[in-house]
Each structure stands twice: as C-alpha cells, then as structure tokens.
Structure 1
Amino acid sequence: YACVGGMPDVVNIFLENNRMDEVLKAQRNIVRSYKDDMVKYADRSMKSSIKECFESIPKQLGKENKKFQYSVVKKGGTAAKYAGSLQWIEDAGIIARCYNLMKPELPLDKNADQDIFKVYMCDCGLFASMLEDGTQFDILQGRLYGYKGAIFENLIADIFIKSGRKLYYYRKDSGLEIDFIIRHQGEVSLVEVKANTGNTKSAKTILKHPDKYHVKQAIKLGDYNIGRAGQILTIPFYMAFLLRGY
C-alpha cells in the first residue's frame, strides 16, 4: 500500500462494493419471494396484474407528481383492471397508500380523497433494491439524482407507518404541495421532506392564510440540526419517529 498512492481508498471502495452486493442480493431475494408469493397465492386472473402493479412502484415515485396512476402500470391501464391487484399488494403489507386531503383539517381521515393517493413501500431498503443497478451506490455517495425526493419521502413514510400513522398529503392544481400532513401535538402539521436544503414555499403560503387553511405549524425534515423559524420546526430525518399526535 505504501508503494501505490491511493491504494487504501481503492481497496476500501472494493470492499464496500462487495458488501453492498451482498446486501443487494439478499434484498432482491426478498423481492423475488414477494413475486413468487404473488404467483402462488393470488387468483390466476390477477397474477400478472399484481406483478405489474408491484413493479411500477419505483416509476410511480420517480415522477414529479407522485400520485399513483394506473396508466403508468401499463399504457391504457385503468382502475377497473388494476385496483384489485393494488389492494392485494397492500393487504399483503408490502405497500401503504398516502391519501390526498381535500383540505388540511382534522379529522384527517374524513378529509381524505380515497381516489387520489400515492403509494410507498413499507420497507425503504427493498424499495432501493428495486431501482436500477448502480443507483444503490449512488445513494450512499449522496448522488440521488431523479430519485432523491422519492427515496427520502419513502424513508419518512416508512417511519410513519412503523409508528402506526396513516399517511396523508396535500396537493392542489394551483401548485401547492405538502409531502405529508400529520396530527402533531393535537394540531394539523405540515411535513416537508427535504433531500437537499430547500425552501418550504407551499408550507409558508398555507401558514400565511390561517383563516383559509386552519394550520398553525409546519415541520421540515432534512439533514439539519434542531431549530425553529417562526411557525416552522426543523428537525433531522432520524427524529421523525418522535413526532406525536397528542
């Protein structure tokens, strides 16, 4: 090593890649077992449509508007053909839906539009394993590119799911979009997930109009220290599990 400059770094990268390959292989074996179960347990008429729905999830989350669209599953796809298949995957505990709210008010469940939703994987690691080869190493290096929003949103969705929360978001055609809406400390809270340092334009717009939206607080999750700027609480990703509804 002393004779060749930079050799330790090369060796470390080689070992890191080998470890990643082992993890990725294990994760993809789990994903493969999911698909095997789809073939084994699903009704014969639904086998292919369930698999198509499942395999479309990365593409669904990679879109700018992450609303689940049956036409993304397959060109010309409709709810009549795929809704039952998506429900099968959800019932199996593989995915969770995040419903769009007609208005960001309590009770959240009452204001949810059951026909407009996003879909997140209940295991963020398995979601990453479904992405194109090489993307996993890019993630570890901080090179997230087109999937950066999807990866961090799925991470927070995963945390909320495991905390027993139902998932909700808010998106209007006017351009307002909030990644998640939760009950926090007994009040509606806007939750913005930031893969990079970014503004919270939609959250600030909503907070400026309390008479219209009845929202008094927002939470920004990202690679930050704990802080507060007016009505916006900033906390690091790993503390998302500490957010309480009461």
Structure 2
Amino acid sequence: MEIKRKIYQRMLEWKKQTCGTKALLIEGARRIGKSTVAEEFGTNEYKTYILIDFNKASKKVKDVFEDLNNLDIFFQTISLEYNKRLYARDSLIIFDEIQKFPKAREAIKYLVADGRYDYVETGSLISIRESVENITIPSEERKIKMYPVDFEEFMEYMGEELLLEYISDCFKKQIPLEQKLHAKAMHLFKEYILVGGMPQALVAFKNNGRDFALADIEKRDILGLYKDDIKKAAKRYNSRVSAIFENIPAYLSTHEKRIVLSKIEEGAVFDRYEEPLFWLDDSMICNLCYKCNDPNVGLALNKNESYVKCYMGDTGLLVSHAFSENEIMDGQLYKQIMDGKLALNEGMLYENVISQMITSMGKKLYFYTRYNIEKHRNDIEIDFLISNDSKINYRINPIEVKSSKNYTTTSLGRFKEIFGKKVENQIIIHPKNYLEANGITKIPPYMLWCIFK
C-alpha cells in the first residue's frame, strides 16, 4: 500500500485551474517524497511523463537548455534521451532537484508560454532560493509547500481509516471516544511520534513488523544528509546554523524551550543569528515559533524575534537526533515513550509534534509568556497561539500542550482574564480523552487535526 499524500489533491486543482498557463513548484525539505508524488501524478494524470533528475542528467540534456529558440529541437532531444514520446497537452515534464540546475527554472517562462506540455518542479527549498542569483525567476509558477507525512496520512497508511473517521465523528459530536478505542488511538499517535513522517522511515516501520529500530536507521541517514546540507549550503554562517541544529534537543528539554544563545556562544546577539535561524526555517528542516508580545493586536504584528523556539520539522527525526543510537537500539527508549514514562523528554516530543501538525496546516507558530516581577518567573505560559485569520472579527485560540495526565489550567485562566474579548477557544492537548470543562476544550493529541477541518 502506498502512502497517500494530501498534496496530490492540490496538484489536481493546479492542473484543472491553470490549464498549462503555470508550472507547479513543490517546495519542501529533502526526503519528504516530492519526487515520488510528482511521478505518481505523471503516471496517473497524463499519457506520458518524463522526469529529468538534475543530479544525474546528461551533458546533452543540460546543453539543450542553452538555446530555447527552437523548442522543437528541445523537446525532440529530451524525448530521445529519455525514450519517451511526448503528447501535446497530455504529457508532463518533471524537473527534479531543480536547484542543481537553475537554468531549467529560468526556462519555465518560455516552456509554459509554448503551451504544449505541463511542468512540475521539485527541489530542496533553501537550495532553490540560493541558486537563483543569476537567473530570471519565472512568474509562471504556482508554489505549494509539502511537509512530512501528517497524522491523517499516517493513519490511512497504517490501515486505520475507520478509526480516523470515528475520531472525527466524536470531535464533531463533542464526545469522548470509547475508552479502548481512545487507548488504541493514543498508541498509534505515540508510534507516529517515534517514527515520524519521513516516508522511508515509515515504510521501513510498517514493512518490518512495526520495527522502530529499522525506522531509526532510515532517519539517521536523513539526519546525515541534513548535516551535509548545512555544511554545503549555509557557507557564510554554517557553523552557527550547525550549532543551533545540534542544540535543538537541548533547548526543547528545558522548561521554556526557547533558544538561549549564550549556550552556543558567549556574548552572542540575535543579529548574528538572524540569518542562520532563517536558513533553518526556510529549509523546512525546522519550524520556528516566535513570542507574540501583544496577542490583542495581531500575532505577526507583535512578533518578538529575540524570543524564539526552534522545533524540528519532523518529530521522528527529533527522536533520532535527541537520543544516541545505543539508547534506541536497546529498545528501552521506545518502551518508556509508549508507556508514558519518559518524564521531561516526553513533553519535548509532544510539543514538537503539535508544532509539526500546526505547521502542516499552513499556520505560523507563535507563543506567549508574561514575566511576573514579584514572583521572578513567568506566571503565564501559552505554548501556541492560533488566530482565526479574520481581519474583520480577529480571534485567537490559546493552546497548551500537556504530556502528563495531571496538570493545572492556571496560565489559560490568566490569559483569558487579559485577552478575554479576543479569545475564541481555549484548548488543552492532553493524553486523556475528549472533555469540555469550564469553557476549556480538552482534546487528545490525535484529535488536533479535527480543529483545522
């Protein structure tokens, strides 16, 4: 069974809406399945397709991009090189790893204007941005972002469509799941935390009797690629990017979870780390979450760039990044997480997976804290703030993430007192079943996707 990706539907919409007037650029981190879904799309929706992988395209193929005055010769060369016949308005040409050959992206303007075929471009997002200095970026592109496999896609791949429907139905009716099914859903969600959403890891997990260790091998290979990307791509500041990346588990293990630059470099200031942080965010390797100073006015308008949390783009990768290979291979780590006995680190993983789920829904990440001078500590800590995106009737939804079953709702109460008129829903994500209490919606983490539906 293949992993069904939601982005496929958006690709169908692009094909229908643009009718060959725009190419499609799929942006995303490495190893999330961009090439796979592009080929699947070409197979299902066109009579033929050609995939040009610029990691290994021949010199003859690359040379043909030097002269676009005769497109008949251009298409003839590609057709012969890949031994595929092209059909007008019924063939797709995929430019894979397009960051390796910027001239192909520049050519999109002329190829789209020609109108004979459709074009999909894929590549590592940050590398795409860093490879356009000497080219004209085409306006004939529609960009969509692709993320790791989300929880819904995970459930469908694991054959749990009926349970997924039941979860959605319970949310709509605002009732808890039957207790045994709640326990099953929580078990599956913990599997999702540990395995993550990188397709290779997920396939290794499912095809080998749900073996976490084999999934970990795949994830460590991907982490190795990311570290190589950091060394090669972020040349001007790769040491600072690398320092932040290596310290992500350490930051997320602390109570506040925000980046503290003094742990990286004595006397460090955020100005020196602005570009490295942007690089990690723009590469989609990480998801940045900024403090909002005044949620009353708007989240982005009051972003405090000096207070930022850095989550991993995929929680399964965070697990392999945070724990040594020996810790994982003996199986105890998985047992502790599945049994809910990992203490502080479990909170780190829960908060990271919620950040991942929110991001995959197209939302920017913000948090809120208030420092109490008398108490010498924060007396309000809201993990995530989500707006309703309305400019006329702006509302915010504060979200707190609780990894244990015992907790207080003090921060939410104080937040409501201050911003009451702007608060739409108060949400707590916890390991327990669905519950409405004192104006607060308490949901298990496997139900979060329902909110965005």
Q: Is contact 2:416–2:423 with CA below 8 Å preserved after alignment? A: yes
Alignment-derived partner of residue 206 in structure 1: 415
Alignment-derived partner of residue 322 in structure 2: 131
Q: Which moved more, 1:139-148 or 1:63-72?
A: 139-148
Give the alignment of 1:176-195 within 5 angstroms: 176-184=380-388, 187-195=395-403
Gaps of 5+ in 2: 1-207, 373-378
Do the aligned partners of residues 84 and 227 (structure 1) sit closer, same or farther apart at CA in structure 2, a change above 3 Å counting?
same
RMSD: 2.4
Q: Is contact 1:220–1:232 with CA below 8 Å preserved after alignment? A: yes
Q: Distance in 1 between matches of 2:414 and 2:452?
A: 24
Alignment-derived partner of residue 94 in structure 1: 285
Do the aligned partners of residues 184 and 196 (structure 1) sit closer, same or farther apart at CA in structure 2, a change above 3 Å counting?
farther
Q: Give the paired residue count.
A: 228
Alignment-derived partner of residue 355 in structure 2: 157
Q: Is contact 1:104–1:215 with CA below 8 Å preserved after alignment? A: no
* TM-score, normalised by the number of residues in structure 1: 0.83
Q: Distance in 2 between matches of 1:154 and 1:218?
A: 20
Do the aligned partners of residues 112 and 21 (structure 1) sit closer, same or farther apart at CA in structure 2, a change above 3 Å counting?
same
Q: How much has 1:200 moved relative to structure 2?
A: 1.3
Do the aligned partners of residues 147 and 76 (structure 1) sit closer, same or farther apart at CA in structure 2, a change above 3 Å counting?
farther
Q: How much has 1:75 moved relative to structure 2?
A: 4.2
Q: Is contact 1:105–1:111 with CA below 8 Å preserved after alignment? A: no
Alignment-derived partner of residue 49 in structure 1: 240
Do the aligned partners of residues 17 and 76 (structure 1) sit closer, same or farther apart at CA in structure 2, a change above 3 Å counting?
farther
Q: How much has 1:233 moved relative to structure 2?
A: 0.7
Q: Distance in 1 between matches of 2:215 and 2:267?
A: 36
Q: Is contact 1:93–1:122 with CA below 8 Å preserved after alignment? A: yes
* AA partner of residue 224 (structure 1): K
Q: Distance in 2 between matches of 1:54 and 1:74?
A: 14
Map Cα deviations across residues 107-148 of structure 1 (whole Å, 9 max, x no partner). Answer: 221122222211111101101111123264232332222212
Q: Is contact 1:188–1:217 with CA below 8 Å preserved after alignment? A: yes
Q: Distance in 1 between matches of 2:224 and 2:213?
A: 16
Map Cα deviations across residues 10-66 of structure 1 (whole Å, 9 max, x no partner). Answer: xxxxxx9992221111111100110111122221x4232221111011111111111
Map Cα deviations across residues 178-201 of structure 1 (whole Å, 9 max, x no partner). Answer: 111112596211111110121111
* AA partner of residue 410 (structure 2): K
Alignment-derived partner of residue 9 in structure 1: none
Indicate the SS of the match to 1:172: strand
Alignment-derived partner of residue 230 in structure 2: 38
Indicate the SS of the match to 2:408: coil
Alignment-derived partner of residue 163 in structure 2: none
Task: Please tell me whether residue 121 in structure 1 is matched to residue 312 in structure 2.
Answer: yes
* TM-score, normalised by the number of residues in structure 2: 0.47
Q: Distance in 2 between matches of 1:96 and 1:144?
A: 23
* AA partner of residue 32 (structure 1): G
Indicate the SS of the match to 2:211: helix
Task: Please tell me whether residue 70 in structure 1 is matched to residue 268 in structure 2.
Answer: no
Do the aligned partners of residues 164 and 216 (structure 1) sit closer, same or farther apart at CA in structure 2, a change above 3 Å counting?
closer
Q: How much has 1:173 moved relative to structure 2?
A: 1.0
Q: Is contact 2:346–2:403 with CA below 8 Å preserved after alignment? A: yes
Q: Is contact 1:216–1:231 with CA below 8 Å preserved after alignment? A: no
Q: Which moved more, 1:213-222 or 1:34-43?
A: 213-222
Q: Which moved more, 1:154-163 or 1:199-208?
A: 199-208
Q: Distance in 1 between matches of 2:239 and 2:382?
A: 34
Alignment-derived partner of residue 226 in structure 1: 434
Q: Distance in 2 between matches of 1:145 and 1:76?
A: 32
Q: Is contact 2:365–2:384 with CA below 8 Å preserved after alignment? A: yes
Q: Which moved more, 1:77-86 or 1:95-104?
A: 77-86
Q: Which runs of 4+ in 1 moved over 4 A?
A: none
* AA partner of residue 183 (structure 1): S
Indicate the SS of the match to 1:110: helix
Q: Distance in 2 between matches of 1:225 and 1:141?
A: 17
Q: Is contact 1:99–1:113 with CA below 8 Å preserved after alignment? A: yes
Larger Rg: 2
Indicate the SS of the match to 1:173: strand
Do the aligned partners of residues 54 and 226 (structure 1) sit closer, same or farther apart at CA in structure 2, a change above 3 Å counting?
same
Q: Distance in 2 between matches of 1:188 and 1:18?
A: 39
